[in-house]
A and B are shown apart, each in its own frame.
Chain A
Amino acid sequence: MTKERVLLGRPPLLRQTNAQILLRLLRETGPCSKADLVRASGLSAPSVTNVVAHLALAGLVQPIGEGDSTGGRPPDILRFRAERGSVAAVEIGPDFLGFLLADLDGREIGKARVSLGRPSSSPPAVCERIGGMVRDLLRQQNQTEEHLLGLVVGVPAIVNVQEGVVRALSALEGWSNVPLGGMLAKEFKCKVTIENDTNLAAQGEYYRGAAQGEKNFVFITIGEGVGAGIFVNESIYRGSQWTAGEIGYLRVPSISREHPTIHKYGKLEKLLGAAGILKSWQSNRQRSRTYPRVKCAADVFDLAAAGNAEAKRLLRQRATLLADIVLDLALILNPSVILLGGEVGNHPRLLQEVEELLKGSEFAIVRVGLSALGSSAVLWGAIYTALDPAIFGLLRPSGPPMESSFLRGKPPAA
């Protein structure tokens, strides 16, 4: 048994904990003096001096001159150096790659989106593309690769976060059991994290969207697929095999009522997803000329909003399915809010319909709302996930890498 494994309580770690407290204060309240930090943190003045020196050495704080004197020597005002480094967020979509670069305050400093064609969507090609694009974004900010302190990638698939392995990505070819984390670690020197996109979107909403301050909430995304990001006890919950929130396979009564014979798994996802809605609309259209032409699933809901009776019927049907899902989630988890996101889920008419259906229910009273970040939720969640480990990584005492996970709850054992 190596002694290094006992980490907690050793002086370097204690200093690190104190450093985290001070950094959090500086980041939240803005520039202030050492005396302010002593007062706000409850740490002793020598500790603060010691830790501030440590932070300055890491390049994370900087004195910005003297403040107003209250009688004695004017105090040095300290500020958090958000420009010390940057973090990058990447979203791998079914046909695109999204990028967001942010400083250590989480302020956007660069953004890009490229489409992803067939031949260029193999795992090695995607890795190369990510490497090139992130380096481009850094260059535009006159930053070198040394500035990049963290990279988080969101993938529409089940992800073993601990090992950085993408289990299966149905939307892209050749993506099954891809060690994406390992592949990208060869491209970058910084910490690379791979995460399920819905889990990231939920964290994005928690960070700066519609779920700020919510300790228990669920984010449901309905787009090409259907999934849920579950937040319990203030952290994302991934389950025993990383598949928590795979609600596209739920068995709800409205499915068996409408399609009593079909019970293939994933049926719910196929009906409720964008493709399912389009398919229903098109097949109805073939039978009757009264159906207008539509381009995407949201168009059908727009038609319903405009009063088209057929579109209204279809909307009602899908809303019934969704209401069943919402009800089951509410009973199992008792979240304070359930947010709807994704291309289909983020439609106000769908929300209105679901709310109406839930009104009749005496149980599992839950607030349902729309995602506030829309299509950028995944990227912001990735930035949020990247920030703390990136900053605290700079403070790491020489030695074994610190498990940053204790900051936000432990990940499950694989």
Chain B
Amino acid sequence: MVARLKLRPVVSSPGRAQRQRERKQRDVAEVLRQFREHDSASGGIAERHWGLSSSRRSAAVSFLLEKGLLERSSNGRSKAGPRNGAFGIHAGYGHVVGVDIGASNLRIALADMNGAVLGKWSASTRKTSSPDMVIEQIRKGVQYLLQHAALPRRSLLAIAAGAPGITNGDAGVVTATSYLRGWKDVRLRSLLESALRIPATVENDVRMAAIGENWRGAARGIGNFVFLALGTGIAAGVFANGRLIYGADWTAGEIGYMHVPGGPEEATKPRDPGSLESVIGGEGIQQQWLHGCSGTGVRVTGDLSATEIFDRARAGDELAERILNRSAKMLAYAVYNISLVLNCSLFVLGGGVGMSEPLLDSTRRFLEAYSEPVRPKLTVSSLGPDAQLMGAIRLALDKADSRIGLLAGD
């Protein structure tokens, strides 16, 4: 006779042991988060930042030391006490991959547990942009990077990828994007997880860049700021009270269709660039340039990028100056309106067009003229094109950290 196994119900009200396990996991996650936020490499973490009792903190720290994720560092110059300065994240514990899926390029970076980039790889997505092809490219890129860094496959702990479209992070799905052909309701997270067999996170590319700027860029440690990506399109990644805002349908910050004065009057048709986008998006600027050139019949210099057009304005080209002025004026309106709604202290401009210095200067001038009642501060991304990748690395690290935190329960 076969003995009947008595199965315990999997879901039960959490008992004492369960709660202790969960608390330990939370503590470990919190300690890791603190090390990331305060960049352990730069020194110690003041006692008041911990928010954990000393006994629970040291329990979490010793767990992490035992697992090898923290190490005693020689860097003890911190004033916060030798105990705090003596530990750092062990960079070589494992590795993570950050991916930026762009309209024209796929970029991949490999980083250690401190977020130091060990290698980068990129490929064109112009011809090969279907989800399957992109996943295959990512697999190839990761393999290349691992080989190049002489790292074993098992040292990879997590991957994070950003896509240029509406992305539901909870479900891990890229709902829609106009920049990649064939991308509709793509289950990017599970595609990545089954291709690479490591935990994955997916995020909208602009929000990812905002995370990058908040972690290592121009908005380091700032809880209320807006990252404005100006490239082919225009979108905002918004941090409010230290957290990204997503909105009800994951579309917060899709400001390409925002209504500000000075835009085209006719109602925008679907699939056309939005009223804001058509004036300050990269393609809109190029179109204004071509249109202007053919209008005057003088010098048809096509193939200029938006940034080059703006540079010409600085050199004294009249048409370029007109275009720059119009773009800067609309951008200033958009910044002004967003800052009225959100009262955020900083705007970080990024993306191909956003990095243009003439645009920054002119926009600042317009903003100063409005002046009341808000005066938003405007700056340019300090990570530049790497903002997305840095954000992806941070997200992948967070994913890896949460997995390590889960070990604390065992």
Chain A residues at the B interface, C-beta cutoff of 8 Å: 1, 5-10, 39, 42, 44, 215-216, 228, 230, 232-233, 235, 237-247, 249-253, 255-257, 265-266, 324, 327-329, 331-336, 360-364, 409-410, 412-413
Contact = CB atoms under 8 A, between A and B. Distances in A.
Contact of A216 (B14, B248, B274, B342): B248
A252 to B, nearest CB: 6
17 contacts: A237-B342, A243-B340, A244-B341, A253-B261, A256-B261, A257-B265, A327-B257, A327-B258, A328-B341, A331-B258, A332-B238, A333-B252, A334-B247, A335-B248, A336-B249, A360-B267, A363-B274
A1 B270 contact: no
Residue of B56, B245, B341, B343 with most chain A CB atoms under a 10 A cut-off: B341
Contact of B249 (A332, A334, A413): A334
B199 interface: no
A251 B261 contact: yes
Nearest to B267: A360
A249 B340 contact: yes
A1 to B, nearest CB: 5
Contacts of B345: 240-241
A238 B240 CA distance: 9
Main secondary structure of the interface of A (DSSP, over half): loop
Interface in B56-73: 56
Interface in B1-54: 13-16, 19, 46-48, 50-54
B221 to A, nearest CB: 11
Q: Which 9 A/B pairs are nearest by Cβ-Cβ distance?
A: A334-B247, A239-B343, A336-B248, A334-B252, A256-B261, A244-B343, A240-B345, A9-B53, A363-B257
B384 interface: no
A9 B341 contact: no
Interface in B358-410: 370, 372-374
A42 B13 contact: yes
B344 A239 contact: yes
A251 B337 contact: yes
Residue of B246, B255, B259, B270 with most chain A CB atoms under a 10 A cut-off: B259
Question: Chain B interface: which size bin?
Answer: 35 or more
B338 interface: yes
B48 A1 contact: yes
Contacts of B259: 252-253, 324, 327-328
B224 interface: yes
Given A10-B53, A410-B242, A331 B340 contact: no
B164 interface: no
Interface of B: 13-16, 19, 46-48, 50-54, 56, 223-224, 236, 238, 240-243, 245-255, 257-263, 265, 267-268, 270, 274, 333, 336-338, 340-345, 370, 372-374
B340 to A, nearest CB: 5
A346 to B, nearest CB: 21
A237 B241 contact: yes
A249 B261 CA distance: 13
B223 A331 contact: no
A251 B333 contact: yes
Contacts of A336: 248-249
Nearest to A406: B51
A1 B373 contact: no
A228 B251 CA distance: 20
A54 B15 CA distance: 22
Nearest to A409: B241
Contact of A237 (B19, B236, B240): B240
Contacts of A252: 259-261, 337
Contacts of A333: 245, 247, 252, 341
